[in-house]
Amino acid sequence: MRTSDPLSVESLNAAIYAELRQRLVTGRLAPGHELSTRSLAAELGVSQTPVRDALSRLAADGAVAIRSKRRIQVPLMTQERFDDLLRCRLLLEPEAAARALGHMDAARLTSLQEIDAALDQAIADDDPDSYMRLNHAFHFTLYRAQPGPTMAQLIETLWLQFGPFMRLVFNRLDAARLNDQHQAAIAAIVARDAEALRAAIAADIGDGMGLLSRSGFAADGVTAQV
């Protein structure tokens, strides 16, 4: 697709970037997966230029690693990187949830309840695609209710780095345990209890990432960066 309109070019670049971000956040691209600009461009029906632009932005986010001009890879997981991501999530996400509480209206609350019900169904159906998408939607429906975009953007960057690993190990987890704290979060929102909401989000992160950590990296061949 060729265009000389700067607005069209900017919109196209943004669309490709958003598509690749979504694939990473929902784990459709696994750790170690190598990305080809040529293949992605053909799949998306665009030239290689917006794909290269998107991948460069994702590299700046820490979501992909550019090894060479032709070799771009979703980073593998290490214990050090995992622990760093966990610390950052626990710092930012409970705070974002608490800040969002005063802006959670009836429509947003209903959305959270509907997403949570759909999550339960995805777990029952053993549907990791839907689970990853809906889990992301639950958290960011909450976080984006707080004023100002910066905190949600920072959290999204963490999810870009963690999403591929979450998807890789999904089938080895007791997935129902990952969703326990969502009901607690909803109850805290109804009660307008900021501390209970902080605790529910922190517990949700700790439960999910704790299970992943205990499941180990070696069984999936993701013990070191390459």
pLDDT digits (tens, 9 = 90+) for 149-159: 999 999 999 99
User: For residue 77, is pLDDT > 50?
Assistant: yes
Q: Which CATH number goes with the domain that contains 184?
A: 1.20.120.530
Same domain? 69 vs 83 = no
Domain range holding 138?
A: 79-220
Assess whether 63 and 114 both reside in one domain: no
**130 and 210 share a domain?**
yes
Q: How does residue 221 score in pLDDT terms, banded at 50, 70 and 90? A: very low
Helix (H) or strand (E) segment spanning residue 199: helix 194-215
User: 226 lies in a domain?
Assistant: no
Q: Going by DSSP bridges, is the β-strand pair 72-73/65-66 parallel, antiparallel, or unpaired?
A: antiparallel
Three-state SS at 166: helix
On whether residue 1 sits in a domain, the answer given is no
How many independent structural domains does the chain possess?
Answer: 2
- Using DSSP's 3-state secondary structure scheme, residue 130 falls into helix
Given pLDDT bands bounded at 50, 70 and 90, which one contains residue 79?
A: confident
Is residue 54's pLDDT more than 60?
yes
Report yes or no on whether pTM surpasses 0.75: yes
Q: Which comes out higher in pLDDT, residue 221 or 12?
A: 12
Average pLDDT across the chain, whole number:
86
What pLDDT score was predicted for residue 217? 58
